[in-house]
Amino acid sequence: MQGNWRVMKIIKSKRRLPSLPYFLSLIEWKAPSFSIYGPRVRRAVCVNDLAKIAKKRTPKVVFDYVDGSATYELAYKKSREAFDRVEIDTRVLQNVSNLDTSERILGKKVDLPILFAPTGYTRLMHHVGEPAVAQVSTEKNLIYGLSNMGTFSPEELVAAVPEGRKWFQLYVMQNREASMKIINQAKSAGFEALIMTVDTPVAGLRYRDMKNGLTIPPKIRLKTIFAIARKPIWWLNLFSTGKLEFASYRNWNRPLQELAGLIFDPAIALDDIKWLRSVWKGPIIIKGIQSVADAKDVSKLGIQGIIVSNHGGRQLDRGPIPLEILPEIVEAVGNKVEVYLDGGVMSGIDAAAAIALGAKAVFIGRAYLYGAMAYGQRGVEKVIEIMRSEFINTMALTGARTVADLRKKGAVIRK
């Protein structure tokens, strides 16, 4: 066998003098950054990358508040798993050279059907707070939802970010006079719509927060001193930018647990939607719908939209998974009201999956808070940049030229 081997002709590269201009063209020149986290955020390719940066940058109690959910955190885990099982109907040879990601929400165009859900305590995640998120929403022509338990009041948010579409999220309290004061704040500030949250008759049991001893404002204990030592910049920013408080309840002077008991009304019912309809003439969105029966009931009350949501898994840990019940709800009420989805959306691919299953748009919460914790306003902007890229890529690969095309294609959730 060895005798059959023969010497083959060896092909060699042609050598030449190195080209300095070509070498320099390969070097990516960037101005030096004095931020530890800025370059890491710029290199992030998905929201999970930003979550890892957020975890390093913020105290454990803050990260856990965003990252955690109710009791054993099964609802959020199942919400994420549901997205992993979605398969979108795909067509090729569709000429996807010119895609349109815009959608009309309550009759007005947004540039991307990914909207900012209301989240409480936003200044706890980053010292700039709600205005940082609202500014990104304005610049990207999206919609920002200000929380009833936000750290900026409606008036303060509008003063900081005058432009852009803003919705106000409301908990209808037992004390209607107190509720009216908050509604009037949103009305006088020019908010476009109210988001009435209905899945909080009582606060969910959030074991992570209980173990961490979360309070607003944070209490200075021995454990807190060690936390300050580990995250000095975060604490300096918090202490030097004003008192951390719920802006809509600024003069209430009550402990957090007692305040939550007043905000969440265990007697909330359909009549409360009727009452809200009588005192607010603008659009009303009902957030927290988790059944077809409830979707049908509220859609008869003159509202404009519903958000299929389990509060990001932060209320009932054994409830339905929003994505799984979305198609049935859309089929039942989608021609009467706009149907949105909230809960577990962590990528533009997730957003595309929800829209293919019938949603008009999706709301993100955790995702943009990870961005805010990682790098403030620029971190939030990075989240939208990533999600937009993922959304466009998914549209192109499924053969959808518009958001409506994506919705018409449909999808299935594999068991």
User: Per the structure block, which two tokens stand in for 358?
Assistant: 């019938």
Which residues are bridge partners to 116 per DSSP? 144, 364
Q: How many helices (H) and strands (E) does the chain have?
A: 19, 12
What SS3 state is found at 180?
Answer: helix
Nearest to 302 by CA among 336, 339, 330: 336
Catalytic residue chosen out of the listed positions 123, 208, 287, 311? 311
User: Per the structure block, which two tokens stand in for 11?
Assistant: 């092909």
Q: Which amino acid is located at 348 in the chain?
A: G
Q: Which residue reads 């909230």 in tokens?
A: 342
What SS3 state is found at 112?
Answer: coil
Helices (H), 193-269: 207-212, 222-230, 232-239, 256-263
Nearest to 215 by CA among 270, 162, 258: 258
Helices (H), 6-93: 20-25, 38-43, 47-57, 60-67, 74-84
What SS3 state is found at 153?
Answer: coil
**Annotation marks residue 311 as catalytic:** yes
Active site residues: 311
